[in-house]
């Protein structure tokens, strides 16, 4: 079988990765790392990669920014980095179950690897603690979401018996389950009826898939006067909010709280009139990008292995305080 097609694909990918926008200046000691993300078009990952590149410019190492939207693309990206002489990479994997395959490919090339946001899981379904990780405490972040919703419901004087909770989640993603489980438990602890929690499984983690998952639920459970909406990120919550608008619900009858603190939330808060998107638990994607890249760089340059697991928390951002929180967290 000819190897020409495979070589052509690798060459093409390499040329794309060499575009100056995706790299910081090379250092004297020639440390080069990759930064691979699963959704390169989403604001969160754009910020992470940009922050890593800016750190590289400050500290003198190169950062190659790549997409890894499925398993094959991730492995091709690792091959690409090896061809460029990279000593390691940061990755937010498209599927955490790819952990062993990714770690093995990195080991094959003697490359160091750290995960950001989503942690690898092994064949036993447990986190791969041998690969250093930096991410949110999904459950605690979820609890913050649930508590924020409960407080706003109380402020509005809603009767919990007349309120539906739309839980939009991709159950194949452990991070999504942790966040939405935390939010659900916080609502239950506040006195919410578990029977009023409605699951809306989404196929992806974006606004379009969330809209498709949420739309039929409002009609199916039309008995509720009010709705709260939560998910693994703000893009998904926005999909639920857009679906509530299409159904005809007033923003006064909807409380949506997301997670991240990105351009999607900023655009919503900047609207002339408030929508059902009440707030988001903002986490610094800039910090995630800088810290994970710095951890990897120090591991390569100074043989200082990062902690096995570093967890961050968030700050509630609403229409009233979003500009101040954005500046504080450098979003």
DSSP 77-131: HHHHHHHHT--EEEE--SSGGGHHHHHHHHHHTT-EEEEESS--B-TTSSB-TTS
Pair 142, 127 in one domain? no
- Pull the structure tokens for residue 130: 């041998």
Could you tell me if residue 2 is inside a domain?
no
Pair 256, 299 in one domain? no
Pair 124, 143 in one domain? no
Checking DSSP bridges between strand 254-260 and strand 309-312, what pairing results, if any?
unpaired
Pair 222, 176 in one domain? yes
Pair 83, 148 in one domain? no
Q: Alpha-carbon distance 151 to 155, whole Å?
A: 6
Pair 126, 115 in one domain? yes
Could you tell me if residue 330 is inside a domain?
no
Could you tell me if residue 111 is inside a domain?
yes
Pair 69, 43 in one domain? yes
Residue 3, pLDDT score: 39
Could you tell me if residue 165 is inside a domain?
yes
Query: Which residues does the chain have with pLDDT short of 70?
Result: 1-29
Pair 89, 170 in one domain? no
Pair 123, 171 in one domain? no
Pair 225, 155 in one domain? yes
User: Model confidence over 176-201: pLDDT tens digits?
Assistant: 999 999 999 999 999 999 999 999 99
- Pull the structure tokens for residue 289: 């990008």
Could you tell me if residue 12 is inside a domain?
no
Residue 263, pLDDT score: 82
Tokens 């606004």, residue located:
207
Could you tell me if residue 62 is inside a domain?
yes
**Residue in 331, 42, 38 with CA at minimum distance from that of residue 206:** 42
Phi/psi class of residue 191: alpha, beta or left (left: φ > 0; alpha: ψ in -120 to 50)?
Answer: left
CATH number, domain at 265?
Answer: 3.40.50.2300
Could you tell me if residue 317 is inside a domain?
no
What is the model's pTM? Answer: 0.69
Pair 146, 275 in one domain? yes
Q: Alpha-carbon distance 84 to 77, whole Å?
A: 11
Q: Alpha-carbon distance 88 to 61, whole Å?
A: 12
Task: Give me the number of domains the chain comprises.
Answer: 2
Residue 29, pLDDT score: 61
* Radius of gyration of the chain, Cα coordinates, nearest whole angstrom: 21
Pair 77, 199 in one domain? no
Structural domain including 171 reads 138-282
* Cα→Cα distances 190→26, 160, 194, 256, 289, Å: 53, 10, 11, 17, 35
Could you tell me if residue 276 is inside a domain?
yes
Q: Alpha-carbon distance 195 to 57, whole Å?
A: 53
User: Model confidence over 279-321: pLDDT tens digits?
Assistant: 999 988 899 999 999 999 999 999 999 999 998 889 999 999 9
């Amino acid at each position: 079988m000819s190897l020409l097609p495979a070589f052509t694909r690798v060459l093409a990918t390499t040329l794309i990765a060499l575009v100056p926008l995706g790299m910081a200046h090379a250092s004297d000691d020639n440390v080069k790392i990759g930064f691979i993300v699963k959704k390169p078009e989403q604001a969160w990952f754009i910020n992470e990669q940009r922050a890593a590149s800016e750190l590289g410019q400050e500290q003198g190492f190169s950062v190659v920014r790549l997409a890894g939207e499925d398993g094959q693309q991730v492995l091709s990206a690792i091959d690409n980095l090896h061809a460029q002489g990279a000593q390691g990479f940061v990755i937010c994997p498209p599927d955490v179950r790819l952990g062993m395959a990714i770690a093995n490919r990195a080991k094959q090339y003697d490359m160091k690897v750290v995960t950001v946001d989503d942690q690898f899981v092994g064949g036993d379904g447990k986190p791969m603690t041998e690969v250093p990780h930096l991410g949110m405490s999904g459950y605690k972040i979820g609890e913050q979401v649930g508590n924020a919703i409960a407080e706003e419901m109380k402020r509005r004087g809603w009767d919990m018996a007349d309120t539906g909770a739309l839980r939009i989640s991709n159950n194949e993603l452990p991070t999504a389950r942790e966040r939405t489980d935390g939010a659900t438990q916080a609502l239950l602890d506040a006195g919410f009826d578990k029977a009023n929690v409605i699951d809306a499984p989404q196929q992806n983690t974006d606004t379009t898939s969330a809209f498709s998952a949420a739309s039929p639920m409002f009609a199916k459970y039309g008995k509720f006067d009010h709705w709260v909406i939560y998910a693994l990120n703000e893009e998904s919550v926005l999909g639920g909010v857009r679906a509530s608008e299409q159904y005809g619900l007033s923003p006064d009858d909807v409380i949506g709280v997301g997670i991240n603190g990105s351009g999607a939330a900023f655009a919503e808060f900047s609207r002339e009139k408030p929508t059902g998107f009440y707030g988001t638990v903002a986490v610094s994607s800039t910090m995630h990008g800088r810290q994970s890249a710095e951890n990897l760089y120090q591991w390569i340059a100074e043989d200082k292995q990062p902690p096995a697991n570093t967890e961050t928390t968030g700050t509630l951002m609403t229409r009233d305080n979003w500009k101040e929180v954005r500046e504080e967290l450098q979003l």
